[in-house]
Every structure is written in structure tokens, then in C-alpha cells.
Amino acid sequence: MPEHLPLDSARDVELGAALREALAMPFGGAFVNRLRARLSRNRPRSWDEELAGWFWQGLVAAVLVTVLAGWGLSRSAAVADESDTGITSVASQLLEGSTPGTNVLLASMTSTETP
């Protein structure tokens, strides 16, 4: 029995016979179809096929961002409407100095001396 080297260019009788049998009619078409299916299954996807796979996830994310942005804008408009009612916050009253005693309160809050 001759030794076969990995890069032997001699004709392999057994492999040739097996290939001729596999490709003989009526099974030749089925063999070729199986081979093509396996090759296409292992083929890397192109950039446009990869992006097409992310289409629905991107669409859902865009809808969620749009809904959240609209909700945020409506909330900020509601807050702006509430601020026009004439009620001022305690912080703004302290900073304006319109309420009696605010100067003393601010001075005690900002004093750096410890008792």
C-alpha cells in the first residue's frame, strides 16, 4: 500500500469512484443542492444583509425614542405652564429677598464660621 502525503498530486482511485457515484444521475442534483446549501449557510453576510437583519430592532428603538421625546416635551411644557401661576419657590423667594428675614436666613446658611 503506497503512503499518501498530504499534498500528493497522484490520482486517488477510491475518491474518484465515490465522487462519480455521488454525482451520477439521479442523485447528482441532490448532491449539488446539498453542497450549495451548506456553502451558502457558512458564507459571511454582507454589510447590507447585516443591516437588514437589524431593521425591526432599529425601527422599534426609533419609535421608543420618539415617544419618550414627545412625553418629555409635553412634561416640560406642563412645568412651564405651572410656573406661570404666580407661585414662587422658596429658593427664588430667598434669592430675591422679598420675604422678610431672608437676609438673615441666607447669611446663616452661607456662613463659614463654625460655632
Q: What is the 3-state secondary structure (H, E, C) of 73-104?
A: HHHHHHHHHHHCCCCCCHHHHHHHCCCCCHHH
* Interatomic CA distance for residues 7 and 9, integer angstroms: 6
Report the predicted TM-score, pTM, of the whole model to 2 decimal places. 0.33
* Interatomic CA distance for residues 15 and 87, integer angstroms: 92
How confident is the model at residue 114, as a pLDDT? Answer: 62
Per residue of the chain (115 residues), what is the pLDDT tens digit?
456 666 777 788 898 888 888 777 777 677 778 888 887 777 787 888 888 888 999 999 999 999 999 988 888 776 665 555 566 677 777 777 777 777 777 777 776 666 5
